[in-house]
Amino acid sequence: MTPPVRIYLAFCRPFAAALLALTGFLGYVAWCAKDGIWHPLLWFKILTTLLVVYVADRLKHAEYPYYANLGISKARLWIPVILADMLLFGLVMAVATLTPYVQLWPDTD
Amino acid sequence: MAGHRLEIDSARCAYGTRIILQDAYARIEGGEVVALVGLNGSGKSTLMQMLFGTLRGEYKHIRYNDRPCPVPCMQPGVVRYLPQHPFVPSHLSPRSAFAHYGADTRPFLNDFPEFASRMGQRMGRFSGGERRLIEINLVLRSACRFVLLDEPFAELMPLHSKRISALIRDEARFGGKGILLADHRFRESLGISDRAYVLRDGGVTEVTSVAGLARQLEDNPIWLSTGLPLPR
C-alpha cells in the first residue's frame, strides 16, 4: 500500500499550484509592505483558501469514493491540506516580515 | 477470507418526502456473489452507499462479523466500492492507482494485455469503457474482504462483460471475497450470483432461486426486461 503522504499529494495536485501561488504572492506583498499588513493578508488568505476549497470540492466530488476506499474520509482529506497550507502561509509571512526589504528593480525615472 | 460477514439492518433513507429504504436488511458473506435487483430509483445505490459508509441515511445498523461497524469504509481492508460514475482522479495513471490500492498489476495485464503499454497514461485519456474496465479491476483485485459493485457492466463491451463476470466469480470463489453487485443487465448479474435481493417499495426481499425471483417480479416490468422466461 502507498504511504498516505503520496495519496495526499495525488489529491492536492490539481489545486496545489493555486494555493502555493497565492501564498507566494501574499508573502511578496508582506515583504514589500512590512508593518500593518498582516491582518488584511491573513483574512485575504483565509477567504481565498475557502474559495479554492469550495471550487475544488465541487470539481472533485466524484473522486471521494477513490479516497474512501483507502479509508480516508472527506474531512480527513481536507483538514490536513488546509492546516499544511496555513502553516506554510505562516512560515512565508514570518520570513517575509523578518527579511530586510531590498528593491529588486531600480526606479526607471 | 471466506467466513466473514457484513450486514446492514434497519436501513432507512428518504429524499424529501420520498422514502427510498424502509427497514431494509442485506447480508453478504465471504466467498459469495449477491445481486441487488430493482428498478431505477428503487434504492440499490443508496443501500450500497449506506453499507459502504459514505451515506448516513436516517438510520442504519451495520455489523461486520457480528460486531457493530458504523462506517465500514474507514476500517482498513474491509470493503471497497465501485460507484456508477468514474471515480479514479483523471490526472492519475492506472499504475499509480494500482499502487495506491496495493493491487498487483500483473494479473490485470495478463487478462488485458492491451493495457500494457498504457499503464502510465492519465485516466482522463482513456475511453469510458476502458476507464470502467480499469476501475473494476482496481477494486476487485485489491486486498479487501467485501466489494460493492454499482453497475459494473455499464459501458463494457460484451467480450469484456464476460471476462469481468468470470473475474467476479473467481474473486469470490478463490479470493474468498463477498461481492454485492447491482446492474440492469440482469442476465449477467443474476447469472453469476449465488442469491439476490429484490428492492421494491423501500423493502428488501431475499431470493435464492429463479422461481423465487419470478414470484417477486412477475407483476413488475423489470422481469420482462431480463428476457428470461417466467417459470410458470
Instruction: Give the one of A1, A63, A65 whose C-beta lies nearest to B54's C-beta.
Output: A65
Q: What span, in angstroms and rounded, lies between the C-alpha atoms of B65 and B68?
A: 8
With cut-offs at 50, 70 and 90, classify the pLDDT of residue A109.
low
Are the Cβ atoms of B54 and A62 closer than 8 angstroms?
no
End-to-end distance of chain B based on CA atoms, in angstroms?
39
List phi, psi (to 5°) of B180. Answer: -110, 125
List beta partners, residue B14.
B19
Nearest-Cα distance to chain A for B144, in Å, is 10
Q: What span, in angstroms and rounded, lies between the C-alpha atoms of B121 and B91?
A: 9
* Mean pLDDT, rounded, for A63-83: 94
Low-confidence ranges of chain B (pLDDT < 70): 1-2, 217-232
pLDDT at position B201 is: 85
The distance of Cα B223 from the centroid of its chain, to the nearest Å, equals 20
- Read off the pLDDT of residues A56-70 as tens digits, 9 standing for 90 and up: 999 999 999 999 999
Q: What span, in angstroms and rounded, lies between the C-alpha atoms of B121 and B110?
A: 18
The distance of Cα B176 from the centroid of its chain, to the nearest Å, equals 15
pLDDT at position B85 is: 95
Q: Are B153 and B182 in contact (CB under 8 A)?
A: no
Residues constituting chain B: 232
Q: Are B178 and B145 in contact (CB under 8 A)?
A: yes
pLDDT at position B39 is: 84
Q: Are B92 and B48 in contact (CB under 8 A)?
A: no
Number of H helices, E strands in chain A: 4, 0
pLDDT at position B74 is: 93
Q: CA-based angle B144:B202:B220, to the nearest 5?
A: 105
B86 interface with A at CB cutoff 8 Å: yes
pLDDT at position A44 is: 93
Q: Are B12 and B58 in contact (CB under 8 A)?
A: yes
pLDDT at position B230 is: 45
Cell, residue A39: 491582518
Nearest-Cα distance to chain B for A57, in Å, is 13
Residues whose CB falls within 8 Å of the CB of residue B166, separated by 6 or more in sequence, listed in order: none
Residues whose CB falls within 8 Å of the CB of residue A54, separated by 6 or more in sequence, listed in order: none
Q: Are B17 and B159 in contact (CB under 8 A)?
A: no
List beta partners, residue A86.
none
Those of residues 18-57 in B touching chain A at CB distance below 8 A are 52-54
B171 CB burial (10 A radius; 0-12, 13-18, 19+): buried
Q: What span, in angstroms and rounded, lies between the C-alpha atoms of B1 and B80?
A: 15
- Read off the pLDDT of residues A9-37 as tens digits, 9 standing for 90 and up: 999 999 999 999 999 999 999 888 867 78
B84 interface with A at CB cutoff 8 Å: no
Are the Cβ atoms of B80 and A69 closer than 8 angstroms?
yes
- Read off the pLDDT of residues B152-205 as tens digits, 9 standing for 90 and up: 998 899 999 999 999 999 999 999 999 999 998 887 888 899 999 999 888 888
Nearest-Cα distance to chain A for B194, in Å, is 25
Task: Cite the DSSP H helix spans in chain B.
Answer: 44-52, 94-100, 105-111, 128-141, 158-173, 186-191, 210-217, 221-226
Cell, residue A53: 476549497
Instruction: Give the one of A13, A14, A66 whose C-beta lies nearest to B88's C-beta.
Output: A66
- Read off the pLDDT of residues A34-53 as tens digits, 9 standing for 90 and up: 677 888 999 999 999 999 99
The residue among A18, A1, A12 whose CA lies nearest residue A77 is A12
pLDDT at position B79 is: 96
pLDDT of A84 > 60? The answer is: yes
The residue among B183, B143, B141 whose CA lies nearest residue B161 is B183
Nearest-Cα distance to chain B for A66, in Å, is 6
Q: What span, in angstroms and rounded, lies between the C-alpha atoms of B99 and B97?
A: 5
Residues whose CB falls within 8 Å of the CB of residue A105, separated by 6 or more in sequence, listed in order: none
A9 interface with B at CB cutoff 8 Å: no
